[in-house]
């Protein structure tokens, strides 16, 4: 591991991450993959996020869908745990709440595969500070 010594080193890591992600997922270009983040804070895990994550990884693989599933922290929607964020290539991310395995299955089948609009996604209710 090379140590970070300058601000430029940080910039390099930033770019590295992108190619590494590609490598890890075994895909040519991560831009084409569906990106799924599972809210895995304490309360997410307590309400079953781990099972959902395991299911997603397995199911997506079985169903031959190019996807990167990763854990993330608490998204803030305690009333709707577990929550997952799904970003299809070229689209805005969408957050689903109260996701159990059944619902995760529906999300794969309806939203990811067929691109059907789903009612009841959690709307983004905050501004980010980037830009």
Partner 1 sequence: MITNLGGFKMSQHKQIRIALNNCGVIDPENIKEYIARDGYVALGKCLTEMKPQDVINEIKESGLRGRGGGGFPTGLKWEIASKNHADQKYVVCNADEGDPGAFMDRSILEGDPHAVLEAMAICGYSMGATKGLVYIRAEYPLAIKRLKVAIEQAREYGLLGKKLFETDFDFDIELRYGAGAFVCGEETSLIHSMEGLRGEPTIKPPYPAEKGYLGKPTNVNNVETYANIPIILRKGASWFNKIGTEKSKGTKVFALAGKVKNVGLVEVPMGTTLREVIYEIGGGIENDKKFKAVQTGGPSGGCLTEKHLDTPIDFDNLLAAGSMMGSGGMIVMDEDNCMVSVAKFYLDFTVEESCGKCSPCRIGNKRLYELLDRITQGKGELSDLQRLRNMSLVIKDTSLCGLGQTSPNPVLSTLDNFYDEYLAHVTDKKCPSGECKDLMTYFVIEENCVGCTACARVCPVGAITGEKKEVHYINPEICIKCGACEERCKFDAIIVK
Give the nearer residue to partner 1 in terms of CB position, either 26 or 123: 123
Whole-number minimum distance, CB 61 to partner 1, in Å? 19
Residues of this chain that interact with partner 1 (CB under 8 A) are: 1, 3-7, 10, 13-14, 16-18, 20, 37, 39-43, 45, 70-80, 83, 85, 96-98, 103, 106-107, 110, 116-129
Give CA–CA dist 80/73, Å, rounded: 14
**Cis ω for the linkage preceding 82 (within 30 of 0):** yes
Whole-number minimum distance, CB 65 to partner 1, in Å? 18
- Asked whether 118 and 111 are in contact (CB, 8 A), the reply is yes
Whole-number minimum distance, CB 129 to partner 1, in Å? 6
Contacts of 43 (CB under 8 A, 6+ apart): 74, 78, 81
């Amino acid at each position: 591991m090379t140590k970070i010594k300058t601000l430029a080193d940080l910039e390099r890591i930033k770019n590295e991450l992108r190619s590494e992600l590609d490598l890890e997922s075994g895909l040519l270009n991560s831009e084409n993959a569906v990106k799924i983040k599972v809210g895995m804070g304490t309360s997410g895990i307590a309400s079953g996020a781990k099972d959902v994550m395991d299911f997603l990884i397995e199911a997506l693989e079985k169903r031959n869908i190019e996807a990167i599933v990763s854990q993330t922290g608490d998204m803030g929607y305690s009333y709707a745990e577990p929550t997952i964020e799904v970003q299809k290539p070229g689209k805005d991310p969408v957050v689903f709440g109260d996701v159990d395995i059944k619902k995760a299955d529906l999300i794969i089948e309806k939203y990811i595969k067929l691109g059907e609009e789903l009612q009841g996604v959690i709307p983004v209710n905050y501004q980010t500070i980037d830009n």
